[in-house]
Amino acid sequence: MTASSFRTDAGLVVPAITTTQMREVDRIAIDELGPNLYQMMENAGGNLASLCVELLGDRWPSAPIVVLAGTGGNGGGGICAARHLANRGGNVTLVISNPSHLKGVPADQLALYRATGARVATVADLDTVDADLLVDAVLGYSLDGAPHGAAAELIRWMSRHPAPVVSLDIPSGVDSTTGVAPGAHVSATHTVTLAAPKTGLDAEAVGTLWLADIGIPREVYRRVGIELPPALFAPGYRVQLRASKT
């Protein structure tokens, strides 16, 4: 199912965008107006971490959290969230699909995470790791075909695990434009999508949908022809969205 728009609890209508439009928003932010990738990823990671703390309630900070990260921007956002959770005293374990493939901003996020002294485990260690909450940061909007390799292994592990899953941007394995999963995919309890909702987020696998403000000014959206409601983030840096049954 795809949605052309979503609604906030305040009744605001938020237009849904395609993956192509989202890439263009990213490009204009990174190449022209800002915020840069570090700034956007920091807002994404901090926002994701705050939802995890809220979801754990009085089990925070002792409850074990496992963050599963891929090697792209989605993984970078997950590693950033893991650092925020570790900085706040959380019981965090980070697992990366292919650590040797990390580069650029995601690699810098890992270096920063390592400075917290919190745990990094391997895919092989997964079955020895306890988890009360899983963070799915394996694949985002650059999903290309059915998940394969270590990414698919992490998705399958999450699918078998009883703990609730918070997905970053899109449940891994779901196409953010069509909402279709070409292969294995995560069924999220909550999804924190970034900047603007994608048309593919009207899918069962999304769970409760949140939109995170990652600090992008309106002019960036305007250059892609997108108008977001001015009061969209008045209630806070993360607002709940529901598909508009129009």
Smallest gap from Cβ 168 to K ion, in A, equals 5
Query: Which one of K ion, ligand NAX, none is in contact with 145 (Cβ closer than 5 to 8 A by kind)?
Result: ligand NAX
- Residue 34 marked ligand-binding: no
- Residue 57 marked ligand-binding: no
- Residue 36 marked ligand-binding: no
- Residue 145 marked ligand-binding: yes
- Residue 73 marked ligand-binding: yes
**One residue of 168, 203, 205, 209 binding K ion per CB under 5 A:** 168
* Angle subtended at Cα 70 by Cα 140 and Cα 163, rounded to the nearest 5 degrees: 85
- Tell which residue, 61, 79, 56, 59, has the closest CA to residue 69: 79
158 in contact with K ion (CB under 5 A): no
Binding site for ligand NAX (CB under 6 A): 22, 26, 37, 40-41, 44, 70-77, 139-149, 151, 168-169, 194-195, 214
- Tell which residue, 126, 197, 191, has the closest CA to residue 164: 191
176 in contact with K ion (CB under 5 A): no
Smallest gap from Cβ 150 to ligand NAX, in A, equals 8
In sign, the C-alpha dihedral spanning 122, 175, 225, 168 is negative
Sheet with 13-15, edge to edge strand ranges: 13-15, 5-8, 238-243, 208-212, 190-194, 165-168, 133-137, 64-69, 91-96, 119-121
Residues 206, 23: contact at Cβ < 8 Å?
Answer: no
Tallying the residues shown for the chain, one arrives at 246
Site string for K ion, 110-139 (x = CB under 5 A): --------------------------x---
Query: For binding to K ion (CB under 5 A), which residues are involved?
Result: 74, 136, 167-168, 172
